[in-house]
């Protein structure tokens, strides 16, 4: 499983963490909606580490860049929270 926040080097470190978690990029507990554009797959390590933090612009940019590699053409990879 390639998680949105894991770089290749990190994935090698977390090989045992094969289960992915469905995550709200902008936390549900802080008003983030449960919509596909606010979702990401994270390895268990990164999801639990992220907790309910508001993501930095860099973090959101990394998720959007990752989405461009697997979203079908014409589908907007932008993270939306409102």
**Tens-place pLDDT, residues 11-47:** 555 555 566 889 999 999 999 999 989 998 888 888 8
Phi and psi at 55, nearest 5°, equal -70, 150
pLDDT at position 70, please?
A: 86
- At residue 54 the predicted structure's pLDDT band, cuts being 50, 70 and 90, is very high
Does the model's pTM come out above 0.75?
no
- Please report the pLDDT score of residue 15 as a whole number: 54
Handedness of CA 35, 19, 17, 6 (dihedral sign): negative
Alpha carbons 13 and 57: distance in angstroms, whole number: 25
Averaged pLDDT score across all residues of the chain: 82
């Amino acid at each position: 499983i390639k998680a949105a926040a894991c770089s290749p080097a990190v994935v090698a470190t977390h090989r045992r963490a094969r289960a992915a978690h469905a995550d709200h990029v902008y936390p549900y507990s802080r008003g983030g909606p449960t919509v596909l554009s606010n979702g990401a797959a994270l390895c268990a390590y990164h999801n639990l580490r992220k907790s309910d933090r508001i993501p930095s612009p860099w973090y959101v940019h990394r998720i959007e860049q990752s989405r461009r590699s697997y979203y079908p053409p014409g589908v907007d990879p932008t993270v939306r929270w409102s």
